[in-house]
A and B are shown apart, each in its own frame.
Chain A
Amino acid sequence: MTGIVVVSHSRQLARAAVDLATGLVPGLEVAVEVAAGMDDGGLGTDATQILQAIQRADDGAGVLILADLGSGVLSAQTALELLEPGLAPRVRLSSAPLVEGLVGAYAAAGLGKDLDEVAAEAERAAEAKREQIGPRAQ
């Protein structure tokens, strides 16, 4: 099953986002790991923490990473570089927004979709919101 890693400056935010996904799409078994916040409780990200989360989330089927913004993305990109060569090809960083992308990815992963499909579903989630709201914020 495709695994998911949630990266955020805020551990609380990441956990709440995971709670939202499991609440909106109940009844699924998905390997979701959080890599968020600093161990002292402060805001920030740590690529080594992200690396460990990726390793835990992978069962051979690959991992999609959802990240918040700014240094969350930079740390995720740094983590990709630290991956062992065997794992790297099946780990991907989504450019979807965190919450929307996570819910879409979670549902797809829970339905047994592969990494490509899970990544595509995350990207589509952002599009769905744009379509709903239209070209100008209403």
Chain B
Amino acid sequence: MTQPRTTLSAADLADWVRAASADLSEHIEELTALDAAIGDADHGSNMTRGFTAAVEALDAETLETPDAVLKRVAMSLISQIGGASGPLYGTLFLRMAAATVGRPELDAPALVEAVEAGVTGMVQRGRAKAGEKTMLDAWCPALDALRSGGAELATAVAAAADAAEHGRDATRDLVATKGRASYLGERSVGHIDPGAASTAIILRALEGVASGRGPVRDPERGADRDPGEGSEQS
């Protein structure tokens, strides 16, 4: 355990990506099942492949600035995810990188600016908006929560993670009008959108880093990962 972060450094962002990668891998079957219900069952493996590649890229070279980390992650996701999440998450991270150029670290307002740029990019790339049963249904409420979450980084990020999870859950009742799930139309109702689910996992991982809590413990599985992993760097 370390102190809650008041800013996110390049190292913190790298820790976030490592935690997100581990959590996505842990939830691969769940993501696969969600995508099997309303897609082509590859979201779990796509996200795992993409984030594993991002971690490898960050392990290969220590990057000094937030924008360098975010850009490196973007390129890994763009090239390794394979499906629509590649360009979508990749564009999000590319825009976050562009919005953070020149900043040695990100405080709450800077993070808001970055996520705002990222979500705007995702909206432009996917030509989607909230309510269409996509990852935006987790990102948009998360961004709203981040904006109104106050000046304290850890608190704001926690609100964003909570909002992403609620947004994910709310996709259950939506009809898909975008992406592969849109081929199912009304039959997509009753299923959570896999992109919203992976978003919630990714933002919960960010909350773990911002709060100083370290990797998320999964009470259902009993064992948690080495508590020193990812939480030692300040």
Contact = CB atoms under 8 A, between A and B. Distances in A.
B82 A44 contact: yes
B79 A74 contact: no
Interface stretch (B88-96, B106-114, B129-137): B88-96
Interface range on chain B: under 10, 10 to 19, 20 to 34, or 35 or more? 10 to 19
A70 B180 contact: yes
B82 A48 contact: no
A43 interface: yes
Interface string A56-78: 00000000000000110011011
| Chain A, interface residues (CB within 8 Å), range | 10 to 19
A74 B88 CA distance: 8
A81 B90 CA distance: 12
B75 interface: yes
A71 B86 CA distance: 8
A38 interface: yes
Contact of B78 (A38, A42, A70, A78): A78
A123 interface: no
A22 interface: no
A47 interface: yes
Contacts of B75: 48
Contacts of A55: none
Contacts of B81: 44
A46 interface: yes
Contact of A71 (B79, B80, B87, B91): B87
Nearest to B45: A42
Interface of B: 46, 75, 78-84, 86-88, 90-91, 94, 125-126, 179-180
